[in-house]
Structure 1
Amino acid sequence: MKKIIATIVCTLCSAVICAQLIWLSVDKQPFAGTYSRNYHQLLTALQNQAALAYIPAVTAGVHTERRFMLSAIQQHHVMFALPVNQGGFGLHLAQSGFSGFRQQSIGFAYGRQLGERCSIGMQMDYLSKTIPGYFSVHTIVGELGCLIHLTPGLHVGMHVFNPTGNTLRRLDNETIPAIYSAGMGYEISAAFLLSVAVVKETAAALLTKVMCEYRMLKVLSLQLGICTDPQLNTAAIGFTLQQLFVLLSANYHPQLGITPSAALVWELKKH
């Protein structure tokens, strides 16, 4: 009976969390700045590790969200970036769940410039899932990304998570999904970025997302996003206060409701 109950709990939690988003850096749905050159920040760099090559200073941040307003599947992230010559290192820690069901990941990343118009990046992730008193399983997966700056205002990028399809070995040999994404960003002006991305996850429909970011003022920016399957509408507002960046956002699912989130990013020095 204990095994049956634990299996049911694990299955339900995995389904509600929506294909193990905790395994990913922040979220599988990219921010508008993921495909850009001048709109990068720590959150976008961890969605495509190639952007770590452009982080100008030591940066640290935290990100938290309560998915569909359920405390049992809230997610927390801690992030860190260290620039080096022609590149940068990144660290990403994530945790999701509650005392009876927990998922965690630790990721080490590196991004490097290849000339003036291209950068590549990779990340190795240690993933674990635990039901206390029943089982604890883990695996290691990889991520790869690249960014190409076609012109000063036009940018494209690609990213792949777990291309080898690694599994968590337990009763049902759960497969960690392979997720492929590609996108394009166009900086219409110094204050407005328009991006589009497609994401394909194993055994899931193709997801398309259109995003924009508008810097109304030097200290204030707005972000909007619309995506399909799952249908999610997102909105965010960002505040830049010297070395501190604060992002408050939410997305809405027609059936499951609102997911609020907040991020705090601190940069050692202003560039």
Structure 2
Amino acid sequence: MKHGFLFFLLNFNLFFVAGQVSSQIGARQVGLGNVGATLSDVVAVKNNPGAFGFFEGTAVNLQYANRFLLNELATQNISFGHQTEAGNVGVFIQQSGFQLFRQIQIGGTYAMQLSNRIGMGVNLNYHSTRFGDIYGKTQNVSASVGVNYKLNKKVQFGASVLNINRAKISDFQNERLPTLFILGGQFQLSNQIIWLIDLEKDLSQKLNIKSGLEINANAVFDIRFGINTYPFQSAFGVGINLNKFTIDIASVWHAQIGLTPTIGLTYAFK
């Protein structure tokens, strides 16, 4: 019965539940409604290679998301970023699913600042998908590109294309990994408040408008709110900053399918 429900979810909306090219990772981003095209923290290594060009230092992030409170749909991520004189380099690994449906994505990113206002980057990703014992395993490679532009200290914009090469899953019905176009903006409303908005378009899906608000309550505590239009979702999150450690906790609510709690831990080496 439980596996039957899982297959219903997968068939109802495979891209949303276990999409092979997820648009954003990071518990901070989840709390903002999965907004992140302009955020230059370590998980930008996947979210937007252009924003990753502004990443500073060396850091690692661990994330766990329990999708719709079903362990079989849980997702785990690890991201690592390192700043060098020749540019920023990073890797990430994402794994989700259960024994009848499992996906793994491994990516590597290189990014750099072309100036103090413009960052650009590219990443390459290996995808492995296993769907039951009958259909076996598929493997493919995708590429993503991104750019980030800082208009001034309070306004910046980011854009990325995920799976720009439209990697094919199988010849049956010409099935391909999703290709996503993301355009985002970040606006510093005050010293304590940031407003973010992303416009995300999949070639086969409706436009998803995602917006989030981050409130810096004090040096330790952040509060976040977010919303999506397609599918409609609301999000809430908090961040706790403890010297080199940052703990992010968030949840997304989907009216038809339920709650997805997420937790992330970031350690900055320097």
TM-score by length of 1: 0.88
Give, in angstroms, the shift of residue 163 of structure 1.
Answer: 2.1
Instruction: Work out the CA distance in 2 between the residues paired with 1:93 and 1:262.
Output: 16
Contact 1:32 1:212 in 2 (8 A): no
Contact 1:13 1:73 in 2 (8 A): no
Check 1:89–1:127 CA distance in 2 against 1; reply closer, same or farther (3 A cut).
same
Equivalent position amino acid for 1:141 in 2: S
Instruction: Work out the CA distance in 2 between the residues paired with 1:18 and 1:132.
Output: 18
SS in 1 for 2:231: coil
Superposed CA deviations along residues 79-113 of structure 1, whole A, max 9, x for unmatched, are 10011115211101011101222110000001110
Give, in angstroms, the shift of residue 168 of structure 1.
Answer: 0.9
Give, in angstroms, the shift of residue 10 of structure 1.
Answer: 7.2
**Is the deviation greater in 125-134 or in 143-152?**
125-134
1:80 aligned onto 2:83:
no
Equivalent position amino acid for 1:145 in 2: G
1:122 aligned onto 2:122:
yes
Contact 2:37 2:160 in 1 (8 A): no
Instruction: Work out the CA distance in 2 between the residues paired with 1:254 and 1:70.
Output: 16
Contact 2:25 2:34 in 1 (8 A): no
Superposed CA deviations along residues 207-262 of structure 1, whole A, max 9, x for unmatched, are 00121111101111011111101001011100010100110000001111111001
Partner of 2:141: 140
Check 1:244–1:90 CA distance in 2 against 1; reply closer, same or farther (3 A cut).
same
1:105 aligned onto 2:105:
yes
Instruction: Work out the CA distance in 2 between the residues paired with 1:97 and 1:136.
Output: 14
Instruction: Work out the CA distance in 1 between the residues paired with 2:93 and 2:171.
Output: 23
Partner of 1:264: 265
Give, in angstroms, the shift of residue 202 of structure 1.
Answer: 1.8
Equivalent position amino acid for 1:69 in 2: L
Instruction: Work out the CA distance in 1 between the residues paired with 2:8 and 2:174.
Output: 12
Partner of 2:3: none
Instruction: Work out the CA distance in 2 between the residues paired with 1:31 and 1:100.
Output: 27
TM-score by length of 2: 0.88
Partner of 1:210: 211
1:26 aligned onto 2:29:
no
Superposed CA deviations along residues 126-172 of structure 1, whole A, max 9, x for unmatched, are 00101364311110001111000011111011011112221112655
SS in 2 for 1:54: coil
SS in 2 for 1:104: strand
Check 1:17–1:132 CA distance in 2 against 1; reply closer, same or farther (3 A cut).
closer
Instruction: Work out the CA distance in 2 between the residues paired with 1:45 and 1:190.
Output: 26
Give, in angstroms, the shift of residue 12 of structure 1.
Answer: 5.5
Give, in angstroms, the shift of residue 76 of structure 1.
Answer: 0.6
Equivalent position amino acid for 1:188 in 2: L
Instruction: Work out the CA distance in 2 between the residues paired with 1:213 and 1:183.
Output: 15
Partner of 1:221: 222
Partner of 1:3: none
The answer to which structure, 1 or 2, has the higher relative contact order (CA under 8 A, 6+ apart) is 2
Contact 1:10 1:101 in 2 (8 A): no
Aligned length: 260
Check 1:155–1:182 CA distance in 2 against 1; reply closer, same or farther (3 A cut).
same
Contact 1:244 1:264 in 2 (8 A): yes
Instruction: Work out the CA distance in 2 between the residues paired with 1:41 and 1:31.
Output: 14
Equivalent position amino acid for 2:25 in 1: V
Partner of 2:154: 153
| Identical-pair percentage | 21
Instruction: Work out the CA distance in 2 between the residues paired with 1:211 and 1:80.
Output: 24
Contact 2:234 2:253 in 1 (8 A): yes
